[in-house]
Structure formats: structure tokens, C-alpha cells
Amino acid sequence: MTDTGSVPPPESEAPSVSARRRGRSVGRFLLDILVIFVVALLVSFLIKTFLIRSFYIPSGSMETTLQINDRIIVNELAPTAVPLHRGDVVVFTDPGGWLHGDPSLQKRTSTPLDDFLTFIGLSAADSDNHLVKRVIGLPGDHVVCCTALGQIAVNGVPIKEPYITIPPGEVDAATVRFNVTVPAGELWVMGDNRYNSRDSSLNQDLPGKGFVPESAVVGRAVVISWPLGRWTVLGDYPEVFADVPDAKQK
């Protein structure tokens, strides 16, 4: 009887076929890894651009709420999609001249790797170009400092601020006095470390009069993410502003 079964390839051909198959498998695996890496970069970039972003704290102007080298997560949906409230901690770009000559700012040197990780939202090499303060006055608010007890008053109501740091012997909630009405589309912001913060109160002599355009706000800080021992949610202290009426419409 004649054997009609398939004839195995010569022994010399078998290793060659097996090697080619292994080569194709390795190539496909590497391609999958490359695709996953590119997609991850794209997702990180989109998240950083539209949703959340990381910043590190380069100065002591928000102590003790935020300390130097803390990292915070910022919700970039505010204020475009999510409205800001009094008491929110916000990150914003320099409105003009605020960063010049700030002695509390601790500059750090960024590396190409830092710049790349910042681009995709995994680092914060550009934190030196931003500021972080607390919103005290919203558009239309009348903000005054100081009352007879050294407090800030918003729309005629003195506020008691548990988050601020004031040196021993001082009583006023700001180093300079002011009496302002916040223009439409702008904010009045102050650091929690009131005697070591170049905030709205100390920038009144600039062209912007100390106000921060809402368009300059990158987002609202929501969490201290690093170091792990300081992980906490950043609140806006609604009880502080609970009795403050809405600004009068003009």
C-alpha cells in the first residue's frame, strides 16, 4: 500500500521555519508594547490637558496648609466647567509681575526628562511659573482689611479664617490694608501664610491692581498627593464664608 500522508520537511528546514515563527511572535509582542506605550502617553496627555494635573509647591506662601515640595493634584475643569467658590485653593499663571522678586520662591532645575513627564502630566517641571493661593473674593465681592479685630470682611461680613498663619504678636489678617471691589471675571486671592505671601494685597501697585483674571486660573487644588504622609483632601472651608451674602448686582 502506498503511503499518501504528508511528508515532513527535511530536518535542515525545520529550525528555519521555527525561528521565523519565533521572530514574528517577538515582533508582534514588541509592536503591542509600542502601541500600549503610545496610547498610554496619549491618554496621559489628554488627562493632563483637560482633566487633572500635578504641581509641586515651591514656596512657603501657603503654609501650613501647603508646605514646600508638597505635590498637589489640580482639577482643570475649574473654573470653565466647575465654578469656583470662596475658600478654594487655586493654581494660576502669573497675572503680570507677581513672581518677580518673590524671595520665598524656591527655584528648582528641570531636566529634559522632567520636561517630557510634565508634557504628559506625570511631573510638574513648570510649577515655578505658576502660583497657588486661596480665593477670598469672587467677582463683585467687596473685600476689606482690616476690621477692628484684624479680620477680613467680605460683603460687610467679617470672616474668621482658621487656615491662616500669623506670626506671634501680629493680629491683622494681612500685612497691608485694602478696600476693593472685585471686577467681573476676576478674583481676589491670598496666601494662607499671610506675612510671607506676595498675593493680591501686595500686588495692588501693579497694572492688574492685585486681581487675578479667571482666565489665568489653571484649576482648583483638590488633594495633596505627596509625600504620602501628608495625603489629604483640600477643602474650601464653607463654614468660613457661610454668612457672606452674594455680591450685589450692579
Catalytic site positions: 61, 133
Cell representation of residue 128 = 515655578
CB 74 within 8 Å of CB 91 = yes
**Contact, 118 vs 126, CB < 8 A?**
yes
Sign of CA dihedral 137, 164, 197, 235: negative
Judging by beta carbons within 10 Å of its beta carbon (0-12, 13-18, 19+), is residue 140 exposed, middle or buried? middle
Q: Is 142 helix (H, G, I), strand (E, B) or coil?
A: strand
Residues β-bridged to residue 217: 92
What are phi and psi for residue 219, nearest 5 degrees? 170, 180
Cα 223–226–49 angle (5° rounding)? 60
State how far the Cα of 75 lies from the Cα of 215, in Å rounded to an integer. Answer: 15
User: Residue 230 has which C-alpha cell?
Assistant: 501628608
